Structure formats: structure tokens, C-alpha cells
Amino acid sequence: DIHMTQSPSSLSASVGDRVTITCRASQDITNYLAWYQQKPGKVPKLLIYAASTLQSGVPSRFSGSGSGPDFTLTISSLQPEDVATYYCQKYNSAPYTFGQGTKLEIK
Amino acid sequence: EVQLVESGGVGVQPGGSLRLSCEATGFTFDDYAMHWVRQAPGKGLEWVSLITWDGGSTYYADSVKGRFTISRDNSKNSLYLQMNSLRAEDTALYYCAKDGDSSSSLVYWGQGTLVTVSS
């Protein structure tokens, strides 16, 4: 099975900073990758699918890139409401594995 | 409006069984594959299982294979997860989620139902 590795596991940044989270698949998954945001006590929310397509209603400061094994989620200007844990997920074939998550905090 | 409502989560002893249900409204249920995803307390998301629109194919995480069975009743717009031989490590909030329109990313999630496995 394909393993998904996110880095870093946690990070702290200031409001207005550019933030990048990385997700690496152990095998090529072309662009079958999604990013989710989960705020404390809340249901996960889809941010990006197909590696770079922004889900409707998601602020444009979020963007995704990459293909094959390496992907990134970028927040262009961090806002206080972006405090959350972020997960990548592969969906090219089952099992639809999630990364271990990246916890983002405000400095 | 898409709504997914899970039920059936309770406390159960190790080795026990439980069936979770997910009632779906607001979309044509038998047009979509459906998933179960779980989250242990304070931990990350773990994909558990997938069933195709017609129930013809099912897939499982290795951690539950042989113990859990996903099924659906399209006449009742309902998804199920039969959980047998439960272990302490199965303790989690179990979400059902709907496959996407143009991808298998998960746009719609239920609020989850809590399963606690403890003696």
C-alpha cells in the first residue's frame, strides 16, 4: 500500500506569513490528491482536490501544487482563522490513505 | 442540501460487535460511492472503508479487513458498517462521507458517531 508522509508535523507562523505544507506519496499517484482542513472539534473540510483545484467557497489564499509523489499546500497570507490541522489524502485507488496531519498554530 | 447522519455508536467491550448506520438525504444516494473514515481521540484521520454505488465492490483499510463489513441499502438511502471483534484501538469517532462529483475526494461528511471499546 502507498504511504502518505506530511511535513512538518506541526508549525507555528505569524499572521500574514506564507505557509507551506508538504505531502509525499511512497509511489506515484499522479494528481489524485486532496487537502483537508480540520478545526478543533469540527468536521474535516475539503480545501483542494486533484492536487490543485480549489474547492468551491475556499478562500483563494489556499493553493495546491505538485504531482506524482510530491505535493504542497500553500497559504499565501496566514489568517487567524486558519489555525487547524491539515491532512492530505490519496484517492487514486483504495486504500484512500490520509497523511498524519500538520498542526498549524499562530505565533 | 446534502446531509449525512450517523448513528449506532456506543460503548462496547473488547471482542464485541456493533453496527453503525448513516442516513443520507439531499442527493441521489445510489449515484455515489460512500466511505467510512474514523478519528481516534486526539489522533489523525484514518480512512476505513469504501463501497461503490451499487454495493458491487468494497474496500477496507488493513487495520479493519476481515473484521468490518461495509454495506448499503439504496432503497433506504442508508450506509452501514458492521464491526466485529472490536478492539480498544477501534475507539474513535466514525464519520460517513460521500464521494465527490468529479473525484473521490470527500466534500460532504456527517458529524460522526462515537464508538468506545473498553472493558
DSSP for B43-84?
A: S-EEEEEEE-TTSS-EEE-TTTTTTEEEEEEGGGTEEEEEE-
Grid coordinates representing A34 are 486532496
A61 contacts A79 by C-beta, under 8 angstroms: yes
Rounded to a whole number of angstroms, the distance from the CA of B88 to the nearest CA of chain A is 20
Residue B20 pLDDT greater than 90, yes or no: yes
Among all chains, which residue has been given the C-alpha cell 486504500? Answer: A95
Of A1, A32, A98, the CB nearest to B62: A1
Residue B104 pLDDT greater than 90, yes or no: no
Query: What average pLDDT does range B51-63 have in this prediction?
Result: 97
Of B61, B102, B111, the CB nearest to A43: B111
Query: What average pLDDT does range B29-43 have in this prediction?
Result: 97
At A29-60, the pLDDT tens digits run 999 999 999 999 999 999 999 999 999 999 99
User: Could you list the mean pLDDT of each consecutive 10-residue stretch along chain A, which spans 107 residues?
Assistant: 96 98 96 97 97 96 95 98 98 96 97
Cβ separation of A46 and B111 shorter than 8 Å? Answer: no
Query: What average pLDDT does range B98-113 have in this prediction?
Result: 92
Peptide bond into B41 cis (omega under 30): no
Whether chain A has a CB inside 8 Å of the CB on B53: the answer is: no
Whether chain A has a CB inside 8 Å of the CB on B30: the answer is: no
B60 contact residues in A (CB cutoff 8 A)? 94-95
At B89-102, the pLDDT tens digits run 999 999 999 998 87
B109 contact residues in A (CB cutoff 8 A)? 43-44
Helix (H, G, I), strand (E, B) or coil at B26: coil
Q: Is A54 exposed, middle or buried (0-12, 13-18, 19+ CB in 10 A)?
A: middle
Helix (H, G, I), strand (E, B) or coil at B88: helix
